């Protein structure tokens, strides 16, 4: 189950999880973002908190999504991802975009299995642990979501 909002305690728990913290990049640690365009959704399995999703409103028609799921949620990650997408497309948007750092192939494959399409690659777009990396862009349109 995915619910709108997240407690401060759960938000800190997410970003302190080593499995999630590894996505820090560009000399910034993985940390909560407090901005009016950022919305957090809590992810739950059997009434147990197992992570979050972060949605960033990029424009009136586009949301950028980030999965912040604990390793313990891997078995339910597809169900949780689809619930997050259902929430996203309940908003008045036309598309959802995800950005995946090179080397996080499991994350890229997860998004492809959810129905995202590979749209491109931003070469040398971030630095992670001192290594310059590409960033893959994946997207899903409202039409594609409706066809799933």
* pLDDT tens, position by position, 75-130: 999 999 999 999 999 999 999 999 999 998 989 999 999 999 999 999 999 998 88
Q: What are phi and psi of 98, to 5 degrees?
A: -130, 150
| C-alpha distances out from residue 144 to 21, 110, 135, 141, Å | 31, 16, 22, 5
What is the pLDDT confidence band of residue 44, given thresholds at 50, 70 and 90?
Answer: very high
pTM of the complete model: 0.90
- pLDDT attached to residue 123: 97
């Amino acid at each position: 189950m995915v619910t709108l909002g997240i407690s401060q305690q759960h938000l800190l728990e997410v970003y302190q999880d080593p499995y999630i913290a590894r996505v820090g990049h560009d000399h910034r640690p993985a940390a909560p973002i407090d901005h009016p365009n950022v919305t957090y959704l809590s992810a739950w399995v059997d009434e147990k908190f197992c992570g979050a999703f972060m949605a960033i409103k990029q424009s009136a028609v586009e949301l950028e999504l980030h999965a912040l799921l604990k390793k313990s949620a891997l078995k339910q990650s597809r169900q949780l991802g689809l619930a997050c997408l259902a929430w996203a497309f309940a908003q008045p948007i036309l598309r959802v975009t995800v950005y995946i750092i090179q080397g996080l192939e499991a994350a890229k494959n997860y998004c492809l299995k959810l129905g995202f399409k590979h749209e491109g690659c931003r070469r040398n777009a971030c630095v992670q642990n001192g290594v310059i990396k590409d960033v893959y862009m994946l997207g899903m349109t409202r039409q594609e979501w409706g066809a799933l």
